[in-house]
Amino acid sequence: MKMRFLGRTCLIVLSLLPAVSTQDGSSVVGSDQPLIASPGEDVILPCHITPSLSAVNMDVRWFRQKFKIPVHLYEDQKDRTDVQDSDYQGRTDLSRLGLQEGILSLNLRNLRHTDSGVYSCYATDGVWDGQGKTELIVRALGTQPSISMDSTQGEQTRLVCRSEGWSPEPEVIWRDRDGNDVTSLSNTTVQRDSQGLLSVSSYIEIKQQSNVFSCLVRSKISKPDWESKLHISSEYHMFVD
């Protein structure tokens, strides 16, 4: 910093130098599309440095909501299993050959329903750092839906459609005997069980003269769909297909 005094004016000239890093212009890139897999499968969560740059001497951290509780941590050229989230111990690794090319992708084995979520991939050399994100969806196709009569009051009958064991949350579609979509007349609730899977219960009020209703429960991301139909006779006996 240089200072010069011109009369009563104080002129200050600051010379500012940017931080020097060999990684200027590099960034960490995850995936812009969710990765979809099933329980028990092995997957690779993609992440890399672009332009290609060796990450062997960097710290690489994969984490979810909490930075300090890593899904996987590579630090000082070794895997830090002592600070790893216990839910992931023995199920993750990074490719050492991949690190030489700036590939930070995480190998995740034996998927569980609770593994679904957004994963952050962070790399730093102490001066430069970058972060990318990848979403993982561990899907589960739920049970065949069941339809039953929940209650009858006057000329109104309430039906309930139930299905369980879903991941992620499915959508429920009701149709009448003519195939018309009457989902807007229904009310659906979702509950999560101890394994992280979702159960849905959908209720709809109908007039008793209508005698055929179908309930379709389907995944928002994949097929097949599950559908059940309920036939109500004039004496209000129920038959389920």
CA separation for the pair 144, 87 (Å, rounded): 31
Residue with tokens 């092995």: 42
Instruction: Copy the structure tokens of residue 115.
Output: 């593994």
Place of tokens 């990450």: 55
Q: Is the pTM value of this prediction over 0.85?
A: no
Extract the residue ranges of the chain whose pLDDT is less than 70. Answer: 1-24, 152-155, 208-211, 222-241
What pLDDT is recorded for position 24? 63
Task: Look at residue 35 in the predicted model and tell me its pLDDT.
Answer: 93
The pLDDT value recorded for residue 220 is 82
Query: For position 15, what pLDDT does the model report?
Result: 28
pLDDT value at residue 23: 57
Q: Which residues pair with 50 in a beta bridge?
A: 27
Q: What is the DSSP string of 133-176?
A: EEEEEE-B--PPPEEEEEEEETTEEEEEEEEEEEBS--EEEEE-
Q: Looking at residue 157, what is its pLDDT?
A: 80
Element (H, E) at 21: none
